[in-house]
Homo-oligomer: A and B are copies of this chain.
């Protein structure tokens, strides 16, 4: 059986460090503040936003959730973002996805000031990541959390054969950049890839972020590999399940994340950590 990568436990440690970093910042007169804007009434978004708010308060970050109605216009949202951009008490700012159809998500991403970009989605930050810049800049929180897990569990990155399943802007692409910057050999496979499992079977590090329940089974994994499951799917009984078939995968992998209790808690812990970093960098 593979070693379990306990995201829940590691998130507790990260959150404890964040709490301490917040205390230090406060003693220097900086009160880290995160603003989360939510537009409309998406139920899942509401849960995510509430979890972020609760976690922020737990670690001492000032948290504001700004709720806008479903029929908010693009201009109204951009004006609000601009207001927070100009507010020196706000260090981290994000707009919860998904957005109603009248809003251009990419324009929202560009509107958030790079130095307040808690999600790390602004093109300037994405460009810094892909250029392996030595500046300070935020990165997408899910891959950020995965990097923390890989390091905490002593996974060798340099020279490792890393395969990422999925090429989203939120997970697959920034994950590829972080692993390439850490000197792994990186392959990105996706829905257009022919014989995808030929690639997954060669991976020392396998990151799966497709939204397809149980896409990856034990037979698709290299013995001893580290398997990170980013999937959050509901099965027919409403039970949360990953993109990896945990039962068969755990008999082959060397290390593996569970769903739930793996990537999920690390993503939110990374958002808190990143908010504090943004506050620190703003000094």
Question: A98 at the A/B interface (Cβ < 8 Å)?
Answer: no
A contacts with B, residue count (CB < 8 A): 37
Report the separation of the CA atoms of residues A180 and B169 in the bound assembly, to the nearest whole angstrom: 12
A121, B125: Cα distance in complex, Å: 13
A123-B124, A123-B131 given; A190·B194 CB < 8 A? no
- B contact residues around A130 at 8 Å (CB): 126-127, 129-130, 173, 177
Residues of B within 8 A of A186 (CB): 187-188
CB of A259, distance to nearest CB on chain B (Å) = 25
Q: Is the beta-carbon distance between A199 and B185 smaller than 8 angstroms?
A: yes
User: Which of A124, A125, A199 is packed against the most chain B CB atoms within 10 Å?
Assistant: A124
**Does A27 sit at the interface, judged by CB under 8 A?**
no
**A81 and B184 alpha carbons, distance in the complex (Å):** 36
A123 interface neighbour in B133, B161, B190, Cβ under 8 Å: B133
Q: How far is the CA of A181 from the CA of B276 in the complex (A)?
A: 33
Flag whether A134 is at the interface (Cβ < 8 A): yes
B106 touches A134 (CB 8 A): yes
Q: Which residues of B contact A125 (CB under 8 A)?
A: 123, 127
Known: A123-B124, A126-B126. A131 touches B189 (CB 8 A): no
Counting from the closest, the 10 A-B pairs by CB-CB distance are: A123-B127, A126-B127, A127-B127, A187-B187, A183-B192, A185-B193, A159-B192, A130-B130, A124-B124, A123-B128
**Which positions in A face B, CB cutoff 8 Å?**
106, 121-135, 158-159, 161, 167, 169, 173, 176-177, 180, 183-190, 192-194, 199
Inter-chain pairs besides A124-B124, A187-B188, 6 sampled, C-beta below 8 Å: A123-B128, A126-B130, A130-B130, A173-B180, A183-B192, A184-B192
